[in-house]
């Protein structure tokens, strides 16, 4: 499910995308003319790598369409401020996401870049996208607290694709206490708390979000072996697994309560 890239697949850096305090991202050319986004993480966001991997794997099991993802070790020299990146002395451990392209071969941009600050336009795109209810429900299940329209790729009319799961499990610096405190509670969901506030959502969209959450117990069962493999290293990761399992049966009621709807 997650691709493990050999470093020989990486040919050259094409452009820097972001060098902020949360991630160091660039677009690169891989073998077979693949354009791939490569993301390294600073130590301050020490949970982001495992979050991105877990979020990607769980989204696959939940049936959410997203770009293919993987892992690769790359020399620190490829990155700015490389001394602060997660990895070892020579290499940074990186998450990769294959770039989506449109029919003209152009790399697809995110919804924010496509629409700018136009909130009404964003709502129209979200309403026309069949995957919106499922993603909202999924982000509530997995506690992604930073799913904004800037990490939804615009791949065509009524076609969006989520990227970036680095803020699942309550955020990039989560602790066991965070997971214990928030396991049974609502966590920020920017898609319906900010981008399209739930008090403005049509009832049919609300109902579709709630209905999507019904499937998460089954999705968890499908993902359980993968989660054991990903989250077995220490007791913190065991607690993260428990958090995902517990919320798989709670998410529907959490969403309904937040939106003042009956299940």
Domains of the chain (ranges; CATH) run 3-98 (3.30.200), 111-258 (1.10.1070)
In sequence order, what are the residues at sequence separation of 6 or more whose Cβ sits closer than 8 angstroms to the Cβ of residue 45?
21, 22, 23, 166, 172, 173
Q: Which residue from 55, 63, 81 is spatially nearest to 147, judged by alpha carbons?
A: 55
Q: How far apart are CA 180 and CA 194, in angstroms?
A: 25
For residue 30, give both structure tokens. 């891989």
Q: Which residue from 223, 225, 250, 229 is spatially nearest to 62, judged by alpha carbons?
A: 223
**Per-residue pLDDT for the chain (263 aa), expressed as one digit of tens each?**
899 999 999 999 998 888 777 889 999 999 999 999 999 999 889 999 999 999 999 999 999 999 999 999 999 989 887 888 888 889 999 999 997 754 445 556 676 666 665 567 788 889 999 999 999 999 999 999 999 988 898 888 888 999 999 999 999 999 999 999 999 999 999 999 999 999 999 999 999 999 999 999 999 999 999 999 999 989 999 999 999 999 999 999 999 999 987 66
Q: Which residue from 217, 222, 218, 227 is spatially nearest to 251, judged by alpha carbons?
A: 217
In sequence order, what are the residues at sequence separation of 6 or more whose Cβ sits closer than 8 angstroms to the Cβ of residue 97?
36, 37, 39, 67, 68, 69, 163
Whether pTM exceeds 0.85: yes
| 89 CB-contact burial (10 Å; exposed 0-12 / middle 13-18 / buried 19+) | exposed
pLDDT of residue 107: 54
pLDDT of residue 122: 82
C-beta separation of 81 from 43 below 8 A: no
Cα atoms found within 13 Å of the Cα of residue 22, Cβ hemisphere only:
13
pLDDT of residue 261: 79
DSSP string covering 164-217:
--TT-TTSTT--HHHHHHHTTS----HIIIIIS-GGGS-HHHHHHHHHHHTTHH
pLDDT of residue 138: 98
pLDDT of residue 155: 83
């Amino acid at each position: 499910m997650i691709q493990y890239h050999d470093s020989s697949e990486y040919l050259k850096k094409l452009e820097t995308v972001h060098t902020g305090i949360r991630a160091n991202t660039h677009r690169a050319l891989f073998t077979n003319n693949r354009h791939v986004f490569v993301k390294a993480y600073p130590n301050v966001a020490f949970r982001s790598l495992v979050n991105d991997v877990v979020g990607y794997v769980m989204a696959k099991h939940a049936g959410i369409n997203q770009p293919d993802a993987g892992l690769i070790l790359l020399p620190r020299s490829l990155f700015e401020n490389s001394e602060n990146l997660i990895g070892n002395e020579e290499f940074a451990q990186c998450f990769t996401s294959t770039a989506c392209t449109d029919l003209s071969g152009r790399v697809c941009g995110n919804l924010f870049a496509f629409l700018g600050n136009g909130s009404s336009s964003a709502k129209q795109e979200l309403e026309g996208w069949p995957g919106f209810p499922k993603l909202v429900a999924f982000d509530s299940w997995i506690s992604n607290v930073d799913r904004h329209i800037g990490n939804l790729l615009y791949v065509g009319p009524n076609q969006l694709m989520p990227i970036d799961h680095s803020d699942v499990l309550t955020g990039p610096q989560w602790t066991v206490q965070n997971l214990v405190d928030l396991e049974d509670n609502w966590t920020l969901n920017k898609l319906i708390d900010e981008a399209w506030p739930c008090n403005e959502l049509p009832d049919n969209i609300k109902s579709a979000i709630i209905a999507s959450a019904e499937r998460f117990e089954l999705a968890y069962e499908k993902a359980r072996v993968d989660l054991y493999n990903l989250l077995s290293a220490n007791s913190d990761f065991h607690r993260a697994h428990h958090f995902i399992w517990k919320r798989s049966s709670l998410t529907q009621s959490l969403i309904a309560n937040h939106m003042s709807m009956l299940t």
